[in-house]
Structure formats: C-alpha cells, structure tokens
Amino acid sequence: MVKKILMVCLGNICRSPIAEAVMIETIEKAGTSAEWKVDSAAIGDWHRGNPPDHRALSTMTKHNIKYNNKARQIKKQDFHDFDYIFGMDEENMSDLRSLAPPSSKAKLLMLGDFGLDKGDRIIVDPYYQRGDAGFEKAYQQCVVACAAFYEQAVAGKI
C-alpha cells in the first residue's frame, strides 16, 4: 500500500516545496519510491499556480534537486487522501487542525519534531529574509527531519 505525504506551509513557494523535494530524494535514495507519494500545498491561495520562490529553486539546484511543481492550496479532500500532513511551524499546525474535517484520516505532524533539537524544530519562513541563507537553513532542517521521519515510518513507529 502506497503511503502518502503532504508538506504544507503558508504559501507553498518556500518551505513546503523544499520539504517535498527533500522527502522525495530521501525515499529515492532508500530505493522505495514505489511505496510513497509526496506532494506539497499551501494554507493560503496567494501563489496558486506559481513556481517556488527563485531562492528556493536556487537552493534546490545547489543541492542537485530538480523541482517542477506549482503552488496549490490544500483541499479538504487532502485530509482523506494523505496519510501524513506536515506543517512547518506552529501557525501551520494550528491552521491544519482548523481545516481538518472530523473524518480526517491524515496524521497532522510538525516536520521539525523529527530529528531536530527542540530549539530548532520550527522551520522558519525565509520568504521575507534577504539572500539565500534562510532557504539553506530550511533545506538543512528538512534533510535531517525527512530522514528521521522516514526512518521512524519504515520501522513502523509512526
């Protein structure tokens, strides 16, 4: 049975596309691509149909990751279609809990709760920061968190 993961941030142009790409890379390196489906979405609809922020794309390119998806907004159906829905910060988590229908099958999780130190578990939105440093930090956090989640998931701990 294919397990489905949805990465969510505010606009789906910075953190969640990076998290999606990193999770796909983690799964591909493990040789289990046929067992997983990964996507990303936004809480809001401001950037729907747009590619990720150029700094997010630059960061992914720097790490040899190709990404071609466009931003989309989360839908009620996603809470039934996905097994795991990840937020990047407490505000995302609050929004996800508010949006989730009572019949949701998805586990709502904060990505930074996996493998990151408690003080570093928030994947901060780098959109309003100058330069690429915030995007690189988000990428590095995603590398650690995605690997830790994947390890726990395949071990049946989640």
pTM of this structure:
0.97
| CA distance linking residue 143 with residue 112, whole number of Å | 10
3-154 CATH choice from 3.40.50.2300, 3.40.50.300, 3.10.580.10, 3.90.650.10:
3.40.50.2300
The confidence score (pLDDT) of residue 146 equals 99
Is 9 annotated as catalytic? yes
> pLDDT by residue for the chain (158 residues), tens digit each?
999 999 999 999 999 999 999 999 999 999 999 999 999 999 999 999 999 999 999 999 999 999 999 999 999 999 999 999 999 999 999 999 999 999 999 999 999 999 999 999 999 999 999 999 999 999 999 999 999 999 999 999 98
Closest C-alpha among 74, 100, 56 to residue 9: 74
Q: Is 6 helix (H, G, I), strand (E, B) or coil?
A: strand
**Arithmetic mean of pLDDT over the chain:** 97
Catalytic annotation, pick one of 89, 125, 142, 146: 125
The confidence score (pLDDT) of residue 69 equals 94
Is 125 annotated as catalytic? yes
Number of Cβ atoms within 10 Å of the Cβ of 81? 15
Given its phi and psi angles, is residue 144 left (phi above 0), alpha (psi -120 to 50 degrees) or beta? alpha
The confidence score (pLDDT) of residue 4 equals 99
Domain boundaries, the chain: 3-154
Catalytic annotation, pick one of 15, 39, 53, 55: 15
